[in-house]
Amino acid sequence: MKQFTRFFIAALACTAMLMSLFACGEAPKKADEKAEKNAAEKKEDAKKFKAGFVYVSPVGDAGYSYAHDMGRQAVQDLGWVETSFVESVAEGADSERVIRNMARKGFDVIFTTSFGYMDPTLKVAEEFPNVKFMHCSGFKKSANMDNYFGRMYQARYLTGLVAGAMTKSNIIGYVAAFPIPEVIRGINAFTLGVREANPKAEVRVVWTKTWYDPALEKDAAISLLDVGADIIAQHQDSPGPQEAAQERGVYSIGYNSDMASFAPKAHLTAAIWNWGSLYVETVKEVRDGTWKGDQAIWWGMDKGIVDLAPYGDMVPEDVRKMVDAKKAEIKSGKDIVFAGPIKNQKGEVAIPEGQSASDEQLLGMTWFVEGVVGTTE
Amino acid sequence: MLELIVPLLNATVQSGTPILYATLGEMMTEKGGVLNLGVEGIMSFSALAAFVTTFTTGSATLGFLAGGCAGLFLAFIHGFVCISCLGNQVVSGLALTILGLGLTRFLGTPYIGLPCEGFEKAAFPILSSIPVMGDILFKQDALVYVSYVVPVLFWFFFKRTSLGMAMESVGEYPAAAAAAGLKPILLRYSAVLGGGFLIGLGGAYLSLAYTHLWTNGLSGGRGWIAVALVIFAFWRPGRAVVGAYLFGGVMAFQLRLQASGTNIPSSILLALPYALTIIALVFSACRRKHSDMPAALGTNIEPEG
């Protein structure tokens, strides 16, 4: 009996582990299966170009990885690239194994799309000097590894203009993930937009310290609505805050991708990623041999990597016109978002008139602009 | 002041409810002498079962029951391993968490982002017109109203019915229970299954009432909080209610504190619900001589010979 018991538990544990691995997306996806077959028939089909993608979360969540996967599909649509992806890859040791696996299978270029993949990517890049690596949102680079990101703050600023023009209570709620420069920069850009459209409005921030906890993030949004906010914006991957806004009959601003389907009556617009533009360009460069390593790529709206989702029906024509005019200005290459004079929360001038925040200042931003209610700690 | 406190307490009840269901479920399991560390996995899986059932049949009530049945199903696996096969309860419970979370992700992917009707907030007739209390307690969804009755039934079951007392006895001293002519194996199974059903209801609450759309990661660690609350509540349903609402209340409070623009660092505020719940329950425990911890908790009933 005892032996049977031990065996049974071991079997159950193994099944559970396997299930979780399976569910973590380790099982190759359709595209991946094709790629595997391809690897087997390498000799016959040596010239097929292959691009691999590593995601931190499942692709179906309308959030961060979903946006990256739209970019992958844009690459796939080119016709001459074989793409595959692995989703829900934990940052750290797990990711190193996944990335190395891809490199070994003969991928030409590998996109690793989460901050925590930075060191694993660098390590594998050293082992496979002929494979090109693209790491998203980090700061390390090498001879065959670039890092890349987009100037999401430009889109955030535009959504801020919409929110500022639409608020009636002059309080806008912002559900935010972690107080890191990327998120703080977004809140600041959003607030600058809000205040430009409506100098009396303020932006209230609630931190959840989660990227993805739909129930908690919805609760956070409700707490903002309870203190009088009538528009909810978010830097979060779950649609929880959108749902809260819809239920209370107020407006919301989405992030990552068009979140209108989650809250059709609330969704004003969203600051969205459009990674396809960069991914298509990159695979072309790699194919043509013009790709350069050791680069830090930070594209803006002028190259289409960030954008606004279509406006909801409730956004009036004059607001659309005003925002579209600003959008055109940014698209023409002018970076007007962090142009001085900009005051911090204490009312001191942080960026003087005539100057604009440098990339270094933007990447290390740890202070809030005037108009934000909340703390960066 | 009232217009701030009433929504706060209303939110308290809502965020405490899923934890309350799960805590009572785990408490029932443990009263029968079985430790179930799979609460997180069970909640997650039953949230999916509830969602899928409601999504396909359109009936939220059916979905709620399906959540309970999904919890029952996973709890049965745990019961089979621990009670029939004499497996290690800790290992089996942890495996159940991994299995539950894995199954949820695997089976739930096609449903991500889909909305479902679920339970909307509906004022309870008559009682909701009581000033203040009515606004807090009786302007909730149907599942919250159900959760008001469950702890009372739970208490009644274990203190006033022979089945409940028999169940508790196999958690205390199974050999004596067997000598008294009871069937310890059967009783333990019913504690595990009943507990699993309650935990499943907590999971169903997450996808049917808390949010109305399916996404992964709905349980968000609530199952582990339930496991901890059972210990800090000393296996008493009344204290479980206090613990669950205290946790939900402090969570709702700190979010509102942030929203009102405080300078207290958010990391401290976010740790508050965990810290305060533990401190409060430990503090109140200091005044009591003993807890109701089942003596045979975590041990299996070895067959004679």
Is residue A143 less than 8 Å (CB to CB) from chain B?
no
pLDDT at B265 > cutoff 90? no
Q: Which two tokens stand for residue B63?
A: 């979905």
For chain B, percent of residues with pLDDT exceeding 90: 53
Q: Which two tokens stand for residue A274?
A: 């459009």
- What SS3 class is residue B1? coil
Does residue B303 sit within a domain? no
Does residue A298 sit within a domain? no
- What SS3 class is residue A207? strand
Residue-number span of the structural domain to which B234 is assigned: 2-285
Q: Which two tokens stand for residue A156?
A: 């955030």
pLDDT, greater one: A260 or A284: A284
pLDDT, greater one: A47 or A107: A107
Out of A21, A210, A226, the one facing B256 most closely (by C-beta) is A226
User: Do A125 and A168 lie in a common domain?
Assistant: no
Q: Supply the pLDDT for residue A316.
A: 94
User: Do A231 and A178 lie in a common domain?
Assistant: yes
B94-109 pLDDT, tens digit per residue, is 999 999 999 998 898 8
Q: Supply the pLDDT for residue A201.
A: 95
User: Do A45 and A109 lie in a common domain?
Assistant: yes
Q: What mean pLDDT comes out for the span B25-34?
A: 95
Is residue A317 less than 8 Å (CB to CB) from chain B?
no
Q: Which two tokens stand for residue B26?
A: 């785990």
Q: What is the dihedral of CA B281, B282, B285, B287, to 10 degrees?
A: -120
* Beta-carbon separation of B87 and A5 below 8 A: yes
DSSP, residue by residue, B202-238 = HHHHIIIII-SB--S--STTHHHHHHHHHHHTTT-HH
- What SS3 class is residue A147? strand
Beta strands in A189-305 (DSSP E): 202-207, 231-235, 251-256, 267-273, 296-299
Burial of A100: CB neighbours in 10 Å, binned 0-12, 13-18, 19+: middle
Tell me which amino acid residue A321 is. Answer: K
Cis peptide before A341 (omega within 30 of 0): yes
* Beta-carbon separation of A377 and B95 below 8 A: no
pLDDT, greater one: B135 or A33: B135
Which residues of chain B are within 8 Å of residue A205 when distances are taken between CB atoms? 258
Q: Supply the pLDDT for residue B270.
A: 86
Q: Supply the pLDDT for residue A1.
A: 45
Domain end: A132, A150, A168, which one? Answer: A150
pLDDT at A31 > cutoff 90? no
Q: Supply the pLDDT for residue B190.
A: 95
Is residue B213 less than 8 Å (CB to CB) from chain A?
yes
* Beta-carbon separation of B266 and A240 below 8 A: no
- How far apart are the C-alpha atoms of B253 and B8, rounded to whole Å? 7
CATH code of the domain covering residue A27: 3.40.50.2300
* Beta-carbon separation of B99 and A15 below 8 A: yes
User: Do A183 and A330 lie in a common domain?
Assistant: yes
Instruction: Confirm if A175 and A235 have CB atoms less than 8 A apart.
Output: yes
A355-367 pLDDT, tens digit per residue, is 888 888 888 899 9
Which among B2, B213, B262, B272 is the top mutation candidate for probing chain A, defined by the most A β-carbons within 10 Å of its own β-carbon? B213
CA A138 remoteness from chain centre = 13
pLDDT at A221 > cutoff 90? yes
- What SS3 class is residue A85? strand
Domain end: A150, A171, A199, which one? Answer: A150
pLDDT at A22 > cutoff 90? no
How many separate domains does chain A show?
Answer: 2
Q: How many CB pairs under 8 A join A and B?
A: 160
pLDDT at A5 > cutoff 80? no
CATH code of the domain covering residue B244: 1.10.3470
Does residue A84 sit within a domain? yes
User: Which range among A15-24, A217-226, B145-154, B248-257 shows the weakest confidence by mean pLDDT?
Assistant: A15-24
User: Which range among A36-40, A329-333, B19-23, B69-73 shows the weakest confidence by mean pLDDT?
Assistant: A36-40
pLDDT at A10 > cutoff 60? no
User: Do A118 and A180 lie in a common domain?
Assistant: no
- How far apart are the C-alpha atoms of A243 and A223, rounded to whole Å? 13
Instruction: Confirm if B235 and B30 have CB atoms less than 8 A apart.
Output: yes
How many separate domains does chain B show?
Answer: 1
Instruction: Name the closest residue on chain B to residue A204, using Cα atoms.
Output: B259
- In terms of Cα–Cα distance, which of A219, A272, A228 is closest to A250? A228
Cβ–Cβ contacts within 10 Å for residue A29, how many? 14
Q: Supply the pLDDT for residue A35.
A: 52
A39-81 pLDDT, tens digit per residue, is 544 444 556 899 999 998 878 766 788 899 999 999 999 999 9
Mean pLDDT, chain A, rounded, equals: 86
Instruction: Confirm if A127 and A282 have CB atoms less than 8 A apart.
Output: no
Which residues of chain A are within 8 Å of residue B99 when distances are taken between CB atoms? 12, 15-16, 19-20
pLDDT at A165 > cutoff 90? yes
Beta strands in chain A (DSSP E): 49-54, 81-86, 109-112, 132-136, 145-150, 171-176, 202-207, 231-235, 251-256, 267-273, 296-299, 306-308, 342-343, 349-351, 372-373
Does residue A286 sit within a domain? no
- How far apart are the C-alpha atoms of A353 and A346, rounded to whole Å? 17
Does residue B207 sit within a domain? yes
Does residue A255 sit within a domain? yes
Out of A8, A13, A374, the one facing B258 most closely (by C-beta) is A374
Does residue B191 sit within a domain? yes
- In terms of Cα–Cα distance, which of A40, A325, A349 is closest to A165? A325
**CA of B102, closest CA in chain A: separation in Å?**
4
Does residue B297 sit within a domain? no
- In terms of Cα–Cα distance, which of A273, A239, A202 is closest to A60? A239
DSSP, residue by residue, A13-52 = HHHHHHHHHHHTT-SPPHHHHHHHHHHHTTTTTTT-EEEE
- How far apart are the C-alpha atoms of A286 and A263, rounded to whole Å? 40
User: Do A87 and A224 lie in a common domain?
Assistant: no
Q: Output B239-243 pairs: Cβ under 8 A, ≥24 positions apart.
A: B239/B281, B239/B284, B240/B20, B240/B23, B240/B24, B240/B27, B240/B151, B241/B20, B241/B151, B242/B281, B243/B23, B243/B277, B243/B281
User: Do A156 and A237 lie in a common domain?
Assistant: yes
- How far apart are the C-alpha atoms of A248 and A267, rounded to whole Å? 13
User: Do A179 and A326 lie in a common domain?
Assistant: yes
User: Do A122 and A102 lie in a common domain?
Assistant: yes
* Cα–Cα separations (whole angstroms), residue A236 to A241, A261, A303, B21, B195: 9, 16, 24, 28, 34
Does residue A280 sit within a domain? no
Q: What are the φ/ψ torsions at residue B104 (nearest 5 degrees)?
A: -60, -45
For chain A, percent of residues with pLDDT exceeding 90: 60
User: Do A130 and A260 lie in a common domain?
Assistant: no
Instruction: Confirm if B240 and B27 have CB atoms less than 8 A apart.
Output: yes
User: Do A216 and A68 lie in a common domain?
Assistant: no
For chain A, percent of residues with pLDDT exceeding 70: 87
pLDDT, greater one: B4 or A304: A304
Q: What mean pLDDT comes out for the span B263-270?
A: 86
pLDDT at B212 > cutoff 50? yes
Does residue B305 sit within a domain? no
Residue-number span of the structural domain to which A54 is assigned: 2-150
Mean pLDDT, chain B, rounded, equals: 89
Kindly indicate the confidence band of residue A23, based on its pLDDT and cuts at 50, 70 and 90. very low
Listed by number, the residues of chain A in 151-170 with a beta carbon closer than 8 Å to a beta carbon of chain B are: none
Q: Which two tokens stand for residue B39?
A: 């609460």
Domain end: A121, A150, A179, which one? Answer: A150
Out of A19, A206, A212, the one facing B255 most closely (by C-beta) is A206
Which residues of chain A are within 8 Å of residue B81 when distances are taken between CB atoms? 5, 8-9, 12
User: Do A76 and A184 lie in a common domain?
Assistant: no
Is residue B271 less than 8 Å (CB to CB) from chain A?
no
Kindly indicate the confidence band of residue B127, based on its pLDDT and cuts at 50, 70 and 90. confident
Beta strands in B39-88 (DSSP E): none
**CA of A254, closest CA in chain B: separation in Å?**
14
- How far apart are the C-alpha atoms of A232 and A252, rounded to whole Å? 5
User: Which range among A23-32, A97-106, B108-117, B142-151 shows the weakest confidence by mean pLDDT?
Assistant: A23-32
Tell me which amino acid residue A8 is. Answer: F
Angle formed at CA A373 by CA A367 and CA A376, multiple of 5 degrees:
35
What's the pTM value of the predicted model, to 2 decimals? 0.80
Tell me which amino acid residue B129 is. Answer: S
Does residue B296 sit within a domain? no
Does residue B298 sit within a domain? no
- What SS3 class is residue A187? helix
